[in-house]
């Protein structure tokens, strides 16, 4: 089975759907024959020679690709000319934007072809390796901060030098999805003070874990902005009014605003108004990652960088393409895993019973199959019980015969110890009981994250039994000597293994230099 990689025809698109590395994996691991159009990867710094070395067959033009390949991998959706070359039964994979391009889906269906929209892969654990939308959003978030840093007139990090003091940049990230979190991490890495807002309260912990401040909305409602698909949804007018008041207040204080808010299938919501931009200090920067869908900022010009009242407004919609080498590698890896999920060359099929493949398939055997059935993946907090709904009472543990017998045996043992009137035994027993109580309190108050290293070092310390084994191994009794040798062997493993596990676990809590 042949997989075709044509050169992208949309102006400014530098990415390619397969790199030499992913091409080699498609050939060696999945058994495909890969056809690559000449110069398909040139804009992403992948020369034709690298594809040849990976085992690909170079084609002089795209017509040869579309005419011979059963599967065509693209970054963007097919152009008008490419649609005319689609064959019956052929499968095309790429970013098709099915919610906005219904006409494109019908035209593909008219050709009797199949189409998979890679951005429609559901955000579930099993599909993470195929989630190209998250891969590109991650790069876009990183690149947004890089673009802002290039336009901003100061350091991101604060500095105190002999020449004076430079305050740190203040960055506001609106939307804490994949792109937003990537922007937060990059800005924090450069030393900025970062704040973030999202309509989904469940992401607050993720924001805080990256060292940023999460802005809570003072709104008398428990309205949640998350959907079952893990995305944001349209909010009520009252919520939006409170949200806009928060943004207006923040715009006067921050230096850089990065917006990432998108609602699937709808134009981007307007979050930063013209008056907010005008209230920002001269030299400030707004980076609008939703520019391609209309933009989150009123003054955004898609595809361009403008200045409005001294504020730079970045409207690039090709940020992943501006990091074409890395974007192509990640995207190519996502497509490799998708084709692997579909059976590889030998067992390739579009399995409509597979939730991942079903969600991504927008045209199947000449029929439009968009939209797919919903897939619940949200990490939102569980719904509160309805009023009047009674909680299921917990079943009390019943005391069994074994518990009674153990209790009586314990009481009898204590009585026997007291009746011995042996001062040494009573002293040792008292120390034992106190040690149990102290040990329990010490272990109970240790942070749960440290339980594993604590237990491993405890095992290592308990390896003191090796001393007893050495004593017994030196006796004249053969049985005692053998048992002592076995004790030494086991205790040695316990000591070495305990400290080894401890070291590995503690490394997880250390920050690497650099």
- 134 belongs to the catalytic site: yes
Q: How far apart are CA 287 and CA 265, in angstroms?
A: 22
pLDDT band at 375 (very low <50, low <70, confident <90, very high): confident
Give yes or no for residue 355 having a pLDDT over 70. Answer: yes
Q: How far apart are CA 6 and CA 62, in angstroms?
A: 6
Question: Which candidate in 24, 90, 134, 321 is catalytic?
Answer: 134
Q: How far apart are CA 38 and CA 466, in angstroms?
A: 69
- What pLDDT does 464 receive? 63
Per residue in 35-53, pLDDT (tens digit) is: 999 999 999 999 999 999 9
Per residue in 165-219, pLDDT (tens digit) is: 999 999 999 999 999 999 999 999 999 999 999 988 889 999 999 999 999 987 6
Q: What is the dihedral of CA 59, 60, 61, 63, to 10 degrees?
A: -60
Q: How far apart are CA 144 and CA 170, in angstroms?
A: 15
Average pLDDT, the chain: 86
Q: How far apart are CA 181 and CA 41, in angstroms?
A: 29
- What pLDDT does 392 receive? 47
Task: Enumerate the β-bridge partners of residue 499.
Answer: none
Question: Which candidate in 123, 170, 188, 195 is catalytic?
Answer: 123
Strands (DSSP E) found in 38-178:
57-59, 71-76, 91-95, 114-117, 159-161, 164-166, 170-174
- 231 belongs to the catalytic site: yes
Evaluate whether 121 touches 133 at the Cβ level (below 8 Å).
Answer: yes
Question: Which candidate in 14, 51, 131, 317 is catalytic?
Answer: 131
Phi, psi of 343, deg, nearest 5: 110, -5
Q: What distances in angstroms separate CA 303 from CA 37, 275, 324, one per listed residue?
A: 27, 22, 17
Question: Which candidate in 45, 61, 126, 128 is catalytic?
Answer: 128
Strands (DSSP E) found in 397-454:
none
pTM (2 d.p.): 0.72
pLDDT band at 228 (very low <50, low <70, confident <90, very high): very low
Token couple for 49:
């020679």
For the domain covering 2-120+342-368, report its CATH number: 3.40.50.720
What's the average model confidence in pLDDT over 114-121? 96
Per residue in 479-494, pLDDT (tens digit) is: 878 888 888 888 787 7
Give yes or no for residue 514 having a pLDDT over 60. Answer: no
Q: Mean pLDDT: which of 282-286, 405-409, 509-513 is highest?
A: 282-286
Evaluate whether 365 touches 59 at the Cβ level (below 8 Å).
Answer: no
Weakest mean pLDDT among 204-213, 217-226, 500-509: 217-226
Nearest partner of 155 among 147, 166, 144, judged by Cα: 166
Evaluate whether 121 touches 132 at the Cβ level (below 8 Å).
Answer: yes
Q: What distances in angstroms separate CA 438 from CA 417, 423, 432, 441, 442, one per listed residue?
A: 22, 22, 10, 5, 6
Q: Range(s) for CATH 3.40.50.720 in the chain?
A: 2-120+342-368, 135-322
Strands 311-314, 256-259: pairing is unpaired
- The CATH superfamily label for domain 135-322 reads NAD(P)-binding Rossmann-like Domain (3.40.50.720)
Evaluate whether 121 touches 359 at the Cβ level (below 8 Å).
Answer: yes
Q: How far apart are CA 304 and CA 286, in angstroms?
A: 12
Per residue in 64-95, pLDDT (tens digit) is: 999 999 999 999 999 999 999 999 999 999 99
Burial (CB count within 10 angstroms: exposed 0-12, middle 13-18, buried 19+), residue 290? buried
Nearest partner of 342 among 78, 128, 71, 140, judged by Cα: 71
Question: Which candidate in 231, 351, 365, 481 is catalytic?
Answer: 231
């Amino acid at each position: 089975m042949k997989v075709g990689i044509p050169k992208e025809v949309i102006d400014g698109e530098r990415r390619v759907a397969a790199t030499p590395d992913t091409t080699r994996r498609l050939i060696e691991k999945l058994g495909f024959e890969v056809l690559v159009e000449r110069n398909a990867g040139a804009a992403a710094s992948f020369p034709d020679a690298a594809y040849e070395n990976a085992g690909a067959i170079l084609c002089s033009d795209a017509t040869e690709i579309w005419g011979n390949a059963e599967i065509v991998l693209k970054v963007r959706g097919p152009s008008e000319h490419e649609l005319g070359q689609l064959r019956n039964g052929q499968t095309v994979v790429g970013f098709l934007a099915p919610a906005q391009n219904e006409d494109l889906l019908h035209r593909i269906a008219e050709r009797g072809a199949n189409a998979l929209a890679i951005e429609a892969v559901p955000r579930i654990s099993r599909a993470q390796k195929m989630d190209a939308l998250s891969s590109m959003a991650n790069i876009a978030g990183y690149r947004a901060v890089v673009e802002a840093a290039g336009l901003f007139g100061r350091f991101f990090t604060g500095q105190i030098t002999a020449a004076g003091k430079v305050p740190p940049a203040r960055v506001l990230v609106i939307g804490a999805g994949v792109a937003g979190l990537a922007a937060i991490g990059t800005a924090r890495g450069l030393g900025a003070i970062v704040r973030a807002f999202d309509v989904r309260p469940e992401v607050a912990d993720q924001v805080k874990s990256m060292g940023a401040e999460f802005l809570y909305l003072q709104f008398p409602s428990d309205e949640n902005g998350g959907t079952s698909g893990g995305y944001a949804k349209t909010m009520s007018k009252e919520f939006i009014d409170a949200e806009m008041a928060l943004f207006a207040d923040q715009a006067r204080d921050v230096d850089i605003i990065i917006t990432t808010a998108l609602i699937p299938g709808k134009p981007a919501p307007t979050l930063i108004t013209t008056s907010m931009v005008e209230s920002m200090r001269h030299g400030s920067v707004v980076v609008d990652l939703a520019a391609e869908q209309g933009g989150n900022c009123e003054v955004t010009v898609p595809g361009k960088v403008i200045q409005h009242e001294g504020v730079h407004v970045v409207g690039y919609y090709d940020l992943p393409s501006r990091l074409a080498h890395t974007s192509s590698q990640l995207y190519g890896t996502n497509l490799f895993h998708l084709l692997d999920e579909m059976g590889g060359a030998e067992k390739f099929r579009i399995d409509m019973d597979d939730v991942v493949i079903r969600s991504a398939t927008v045209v199947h055997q000449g029929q439009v199959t968009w939209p797919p059935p919903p897939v619940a993946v949200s990490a939102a907090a569980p719904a509160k019980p309805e009023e009047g709904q009674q909680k299921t009472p917990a079943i009390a543990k019943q005391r069994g015969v074994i518990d009674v017998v153990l209790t009586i045996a314990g009481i009898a043992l204590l009585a026997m110890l007291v009746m011995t009137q042996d001062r040494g035994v009573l002293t040792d027993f008292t120390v034992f009981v106190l040690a149990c109580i102290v040990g329990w309190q010490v272990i109970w108050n240790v942070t749960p994250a440290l339980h594993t290293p604590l237990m491993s070092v405890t095992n290592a310390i308990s390896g003191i039994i090796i001393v007893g084994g050495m004593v017994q191994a030196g006796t004249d009794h053969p049985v005692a000597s053998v048992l002592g040798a076995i004790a030494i062997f086991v205790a040695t493993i316990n000591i070495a293994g305990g400290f080894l596990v401890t070291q590995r676990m503690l490394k997880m809590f250390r920050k690497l230099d650099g």
